[in-house]
Amino acid sequence: MASEDFEIGEDGLTKDGYRALEKRARTSMYVRNLLVLAILLASYAVFLLYYREIGSDAIFWPVTLFTILLTIYILVGPAIYYARYRYRIGEDRIDVRRGIIFISHEIVPVERIHQLEVSRGPIDNMFGLADVTITTAGGVASIQHLERNVAEDIADSLNEYVNKIVKERS
Amino acid sequence: MPEDAVQDGTGSPDIPLDEPMLYHWSVVIENTLYAAFILFFIIVLPLISEENSDPRLLLLIPIAYLGSVAVAAVMLYWRWRRTTVTFRETDLLIVRDTVFKRDQRIPYNKIASINVNRGVINRIIGTSKLMFNINSSVNAITPEAAVVLRMDLADKIRHELSRKMYGSNLDAHTEDNVIPSVVSISNKDIVLHSILSQPTIATIIGAFFLGVSIMEAYSMMIGGGMNATLIVALLMFFSSTVIPMLVQLFHYYNYKIYRIKDTVYIKCGMIRLYNTSFKVNKINAVRLKSPLIARLTGRYFLEAEVVGLGSSEGGNNNEPSPLICPLKDRKTIDAVMSQVIPEFVYERDPIKQPGAAAKTIYVHAAMWSAACMAVLFAIIYWATELGVADPGLATGLYFLSACSIVIFFAHGAFSRRIVEMDTGENHFSFLWGVADRVITTVAYDKVQIVRIKDGPLTRPYGLAKCRVRLLTAAGGGPVVSGYFRIQDLNVIPETVLARIEDGRYDYKAYL
């Protein structure tokens, strides 16, 4: 996917009609990642205490390198993830583009949806955000970090569509 | 298929409709034996393994064990007495009136398949276990209900329900004796299938441990004494090679397959008998597999991924996909496909991975080689630090790292030329694998989610990989492509959506 695919126009959409997340979604991602970073650094501190006793370089350097790389990923990740997160709710499909190193483009035909769920974790809740989980007969897809009212609207409109299909078929 | 001849078979036999029936009493025996087996590990083993020679304890162990088994037997008997199954006009009703009450209704029109599973106890007593599966994303690999009945009654019920569901008008006797298999499969073929259908990696591991076992046995004969390495090597050989072969042999012995109208019937089994039937419209995908050694002998085998096909209790995640044809030559496989599942036959016009994919493939090979070498050099480093390194070990590990580099790059070079994809009108297919190759043919109408993923190595060339999720099924999983141009991969979701939009996808055809 080319970088222009992610550029947002004046109408708030990409040239393909995709939407971006609100800026507080990025803040929410940072808060979550900082919590993960705190756990990681605490684990590394415990490792250093343990390392003093055994003192083997063969363990120290791989663990240190891994911790540094993970720290960079945790700190830089949200900005890239936010910049590349795009979603589109079409009449026939749900498209989600996301990723940091690998970018995935997920397509779910609306006809295949069985169930919809709006969920909020404690951090997303602090920022008024929510996730929409889309269940099909073959797996689950999700649109994360949406504004709560947007998530509710998406879930309602898709639910309405699913119910309409069920009624037509029963 | 002599369909006309068998369609004139005897009509529906008598089934006690609307009469609540108890399961066959053998359920109590079977479940009690199972409970006794479990209780042995819970009660007896922990106590006898303790270093306690107190005679009172030794007396208490059998008393506690037999008492627990007796309690379990009483509870199972009580559960059996209070569980009934009623075959009604339009649905099946199972009522359990115990501490955990259950009132389960399974409409016949929701049943995807009814399978018969006959274990050793069933065969001794003369009973059958009927497995009812519905189209469910949650329980796709677990039967919704398993009912044990006298064999003749179970056969009658299965055939009567098959008649209602599939329009088949056969009785058990006609079916077993008149309808020939679509393909002639001897038990010699099944033995060959069990041996040659194993993945190449399992065969290599098996051969390695067999070689180690032989060498250790030889050194034991010369030097005398028991050798722990021999036991470990033999165990590894049996678990990696012999047991999977025996499982296949026991499962597919006396194999027979035929199709009546839209229903495929498979019968097989040496000790436990499996009678499996499913509608063709429940097939998600078909896999034509050819492990290396089988392919060198010109043999392939065919499997189907079927929705709602649990043929064993307990929801076995490793349950195999139904075998449509054991190892046979390509001509026979094509003939079986066109007779049993002609819906999945189409003219393929595959495309290979583009030349640009080679760069990505070789970079991956280099990364894997580097990772492998890092691990091997780390082992040498630690072995030197611990003072256990000898020149032989170091040479062996250097040789191993050189081999791994050759293997990764050779695998990359071959995969670049072998992996392909094809998009037809109703189906698409991916060819995957180097040593063991699989062509997966998928019906667009079974696609649930498509994920197209590119990375830093593929993005500059406009390449990506595709991962397709289908309806949940036994032995199923996501179908993954190689590296192809994004516009080629986009054909898959676009076709899925176009078929929904223009009405080529008809949900009624898959009910």
List, for residues A72-107, the tens digit of each pLDDT value.
999 999 999 999 999 999 888 999 999 999 999 999
Contact between chains at B472 and A137 (C-beta distance less than 8 A): yes
Contacts of A56 in chain B (CB under 8 A): 385
For residue A44, give how far its alpha carbon lies from the nearest alpha carbon of chain B (Å).
21
For the stretch B344-374, pLDDT in tens is 999 889 999 998 899 889 998 999 999 888 8
How high is the pLDDT of residue B170? 57
CATH class of B419-510: mainly beta
Which of the two residues, B234 and B311, has the higher pLDDT score? B234
How many residue pairs from chains A and B have C-beta atoms closer than 8 A? 79
pLDDT of B423 higher than 80: yes
Instruction: Say yes or no to pLDDT of B9 above 50.
Output: no
Under 8 Å between Cβ of B195 and B301: no
Give yes or no for B330 touching A (CB within 8 A): no
Categorize the per-residue pLDDT at B124 as very low, low, confident or very high, splitting at 50, 70 and 90. confident
Q: What topology is assigned to A91-169 in CATH? A: PH-domain like (2.30.29)
Nearest-angstrom CA–CA distance, B205 and B228: 19
Check CB contact of B134 with chain A, cutoff 8 Å.
no
Core vs surface per residue A84-108: b (16+ CB within 10 A) or e: bbbbbbeeebbbbbbbeeebbbbbb
List, in sequence order, every residue forming a beta bridge with B278; answer none if it has no partner: B264
Tell whether A106 lies on the interface with B, counting CB pairs under 8 A: yes
- Looking at B224-354, list the stretches that DSSP marks H as alpha helix, in order from N- to C-terminal side: 228-237, 243-252, 292-296, 330-340
Whole-complex ipTM? 0.88
- Which residue on chain B is closest to A142 by alpha carbon? B449
Which pLDDT tens digit goes with each residue over A107-159?
Answer: 999 988 888 888 888 998 899 999 999 988 888 899 999 999 999 999 988 88
> What is the C-alpha to C-alpha distance for residues B276 and B280, in angstroms, rounded to an integer?
13
Taking residues B107-130, report their average pLDDT.
82
Locate B201 and state its tokens. Answer: 């990696």
Q: What is the DSSP string of B350-390?
A: -EEPPTTHHHHHHHHHHHHHHHHHHHHHHHHHHHHHHT---
Q: Which residues of A fall within a CB distance of 8 Å from B456? A: 101-102
| pTM summary value | 0.78
- Parts of chain B belonging to CATH 2.30.29: 419-510
**Cβ–Cβ contact B394 with A under 8 A:** no
Is the Cβ pair A102, B469 closer than 8 Å? no
Q: Provide the pLDDT for residue A96.
A: 95
Per-residue pLDDT, B2: 37
Q: Residue B157's CB: how many other CB atoms inside 10 A?
A: 22
Q: Between these two residues, B291 and B120, which has the higher pLDDT value?
A: B291
**Is B105 an interface residue toward A (CB < 8 Å)?**
no
Give residue-wise pLDDT tens across range A38-61: 999 999 998 888 777 766 666 788
The domain locations on chain A are: 19-82, 91-169
Is the model's pLDDT at B6 over the cut of 50? no
Task: Please give the distance of CA B110 from its chain centroid, rounded to a whole number.
Answer: 23
Strand partners, B438: B289, B432
Structure tokens at B163: 């008649």
Across chain A, mean pLDDT equals 88
Give chain A positions within 8 Å (CB) of B452. 104-105, 107
The Cα B406–Cα B410 span in angstroms is: 6
Residue B62 pLDDT > 70, yes or no? Answer: yes
Under an 8 A CB cutoff, do B137 and A137 touch?
A: yes
Task: Give me the pLDDT at residue B177, please.
Answer: 60
B451 SS3 class: strand
User: What digits encode the pLDDT tens for the residues B80-89?
Assistant: 999 999 988 8
Which residue among A93, A99, A137 sits closest to B471, beta carbon to beta carbon? Answer: A137
Question: Which has the higher per-residue pLDDT, B170 or B328?
Answer: B328
Per the rule left: phi > 0, alpha: psi between -120 and 50, beta: everything else, B261 is left
CA torsion angle A100 A101 A102 A104 (round to 10): 10
Which of A:132-151 have CB within 8 Å of B? Answer: 135-139, 141
Distance, in Å, from the CA atom of B326 to the CA atom of B252, rounded to the nearest integer, reads: 9
Least-confidence region, from A10-14, A68-72, B293-297:
A10-14
Q: Do A105 and B469 touch (CB under 8 A)?
A: no
Contacts of B188 (CB under 8 A, 6+ apart): none
Confidence check: pLDDT of B441 > 80: yes
